[in-house]
Copies of this chain bind each other. A is one copy, B any other.
Amino acid sequence: MDQNLENEKEFTDRAYEMDSTLVDNVLSFIESQNKRGLIALLNEYHAADIADLFEQINPNSRSALIELWGKEMDGEVFAEMDEGLSGDLIEEMPDEVVSSVLKDLETDDVVDLVEDLEKDEQSRIIEALDAVDQIAVLNSLKYPEGTAGRLMARELVMAPTHWNVGQTIDNLRKSKNLPAQFYDVVVVDPMSKPIGKVTLSTLLRARRSIPLIELVDDEFRTIPVTQSQEDVAYAFNQYNMVSAPVVDDENRLVGVITMDDAMEVLGDEADEDIKLLGGVGDESLTDTIFVTVRQRFPWLGFNLLTSILASIVIAQFSSTIEAIVALAVLMPIVASMGGNAGTQTLTVAVRALATKDLTSANAWRVIRREAIVGLLNGLIFAIIIGLIGYYWYGFPMLGAVLAMAMILNLLMAGLAGILVPLLLDKFNLDPALGSSALVTTVTDIVGFFAFLGLAAAILL
């Protein structure tokens, strides 16, 4: 359907795919309990790849791997892992292993690891940290979940407004407590309020005598500590930011968020939208079968209720169907086309809301547009399906009824597809949450009711 997609795929060389000899080697080191071999092998890999390895092997091998690797484990691996899985694995570890594993992590990664755990498991992990980190983690946990405060690192690089380039570089060389990576220097006033920032590439290019304040970017944005992570990710993406200072409600500098954190949130948000539209929660391949069944149950249960509703509509027309069995044969076509057209509109609307392309400023224009698109598609498919219905059963009025029901249902599909996510968003719910099921409920009910109702009125 899309030529570009196919072209693009030709160049996929399956780069970065989990290397199955790695999996085999690790499993064989576990079997032979070869700790030295294991450590040497894993040293060659990035923490994110080892996290993927954990996700791919079965639960027993995961525990065995943790036991054999022991205190030599790289804490980053847990920061890179699916959140549910990292929690489960850390729970299994003795205290001394936890503390040696987590001591090298940045505090924002520790926050990310512990925030979804039970209270007592959370305290056990925090107590395993050294005192400075404990305070930093506890402070971050005071901010509500899902806000910038949970995402930011507290280690940051700032300079007073009166410094010049030379003083700043000399101070950086002397500082002991710098973050592992940073991308700019935040210039702050005596009240710790950020005035601007100087990127490292600007700093490096400038002569030593130039005052910092002359080098600050014209583009300067701070992130409020209570801003939602979704909005933080949006800002990084929209304004191509690499790092941004985080400020409290008195505008004082409290931390910094870097692009890798924002990129992760952006990926998670898109992932969440896809999964909610597909009727699954926060599911991953590492979940056990039992957990998966339990997580999918409510969505299927909800679908059962809505499909029973649709059946009740059909049941009202039992005698009509008894008179003309062709109606039972054709009715799923109308419902299915409505479901598809509604899902199309819904998908575009959910994405446009996520990227803030659909706002109160253009909502009415988009609603009108979707209604017209629905109507036009309805007309096109009404003609096609009307002719098919006519030729199939040789009964012109049956074709006419099919055509009318199609127009009605595709119009309703367009309206439901745009109105459901807009209303969910208006009530501060995720526009992807349950909206697929709601839209197809509307199109099923309207589809069956319109088709069977028109048939009863016109054909009998």
User: Assembly of this chain: how many copies?
Assistant: 2
Known: A279-B344, A329-B318, A428-B10. A18 touches B361 (CB 8 A): yes
Task: Say if the beta carbon of A46 comes within 8 Å of chain B.
Answer: yes
Contact of A13 among B11, B227, B300 (CB under 8 A): B227
Q: Which of A1-46 contact B (CB under 8 A)?
A: 1-2, 4-13, 15-18, 20, 23, 46
Q: Mark A409-432, 1 if CB is under 8 A from B, else 0.
A: 000000000000000000011100
7 chain-A/chain-B pairs, Cβ below 8 angstroms: A5-B429, A56-B359, A183-B242, A203-B204, A303-B336, A321-B321, A322-B322
The answer to whether A285 and B357 have CB atoms under 8 Å apart is yes
Task: Say if the beta carbon of A89 comes within 8 Å of chain B.
Answer: no
The answer to whether A293 and B377 have CB atoms under 8 Å apart is yes
Contact of A318 among B274, B279, B325, B381 (CB under 8 A): B325
Q: What CA separation (Å) do A283 and B260 show in the bound complex?
A: 28
Contact of A300 among B144, B271, B326, B377 (CB under 8 A): B377
Task: Say if the beta carbon of A289 comes within 8 Å of chain B.
Answer: yes
The answer to whether A428 and B12 have CB atoms under 8 Å apart is yes
Task: Say if the beta carbon of A397 comes within 8 Å of chain B.
Answer: no
Q: Which of A314-357 contact B (CB under 8 A)?
A: 314-315, 318, 321-322, 325-333, 335-337, 340-341, 343-344, 346-348, 350-352, 356-357
Task: Say if the beta carbon of A69 comes within 8 Å of chain B.
Answer: no
The answer to whether A373 and B263 have CB atoms under 8 Å apart is no
Given pairs A242-B259, A315-B329, 19 additional interface contacts (CB within 8 A): A7-B144, A11-B226, A12-B228, A17-B359, A20-B359, A183-B183, A237-B263, A266-B267, A270-B274, A274-B277, A278-B348, A285-B369, A293-B377, A300-B344, A306-B336, A307-B337, A318-B329, A321-B325, A322-B325
Task: Say if the beta carbon of A205 comes within 8 Å of chain B.
Answer: yes
Task: Say if the beta carbon of A456 comes within 8 Å of chain B.
Answer: no
The answer to whether B8 and A219 have CB atoms under 8 Å apart is no
Segment of A47-55, A92-100, A189-197 engaged in the interface with chain B: A47-55
* A295 to B: closest C-beta gap in Å: 9
The answer to whether A297 and B144 have CB atoms under 8 Å apart is no
